[in-house]
Amino acid sequence: MSLQERKRAVKCSADEAMAAAGGARARWPEAVLAAAAAAASSGSSPGARCEARRSRCKRVVRRCVGAKRMRRGCYAAAKNAAAATSSDVARRLVRRRTVALRKVIPGGDAARDEAALLREAVDYVVHLRAQVNVLRRVSAAVERSTILRYAQDREGMCIDWNEDHGVKGDQKADL
């Protein structure tokens, strides 16, 4: 298993654990767990599930950025048009961003209105932040244990070398 595959598997496992602990008031945990169950029944790996979601998110971001570039020209045309008011432009902008948010948030398409969608998004972001903190702590603990293991191995090497060469007491050599 490559490093990328391991990273994806850890990320997807963390997503599923976060969704399992997510609580009943939000819809996104149900969507994440349903997608995981569907992928598990089809026999795909956690990395493949995560990769499909990642590619979907990249498409949404590309679409939003491309639309933003196109809209710059539309805004100039809208300013010149007498029929387009600032409230119409704002309404269109909110609608486009709402559609993009629905695609990014798991279970966002099931939200009834913008307020429910924003609650889902806030809840999802809070859980993502908690997930980042947990993964940072796990990473730090693994790093500390690796450093400690390396130091112990190195100390063992010094002891073995000292014993092999007849060095005793305070004459011990450091490698």
The per-residue DSSP string of 12-75 comes to HHHHHHHHHTS-SS-SHHHHHHHHHHHHHHHT--HHHHHHHHHHHHHHHHHHHHHHHHHHHHHH
User: Is the entire prediction scored with pTM above 0.75?
Assistant: no
Number of domains observed in the structure of the chain: 1
CA atoms within 13 A on the CB side of 38: 9
111-134 pLDDT, tens digit per residue, is 888 998 999 899 899 989 998 999
Residues 72 and 53: their CA atoms lie apart, in Å, by 29
Helix (H, G, I), strand (E, B) or coil at 107: coil
Domain holding 56, by residue range, is: 3-171
Q: Whole-number mean pLDDT of the chain? A: 75
**High-pLDDT (> 70) share of the chain, %:** 62
28-76 pLDDT, tens digit per residue, is 888 888 888 888 787 766 555 555 665 665 665 566 566 656 555 555 5
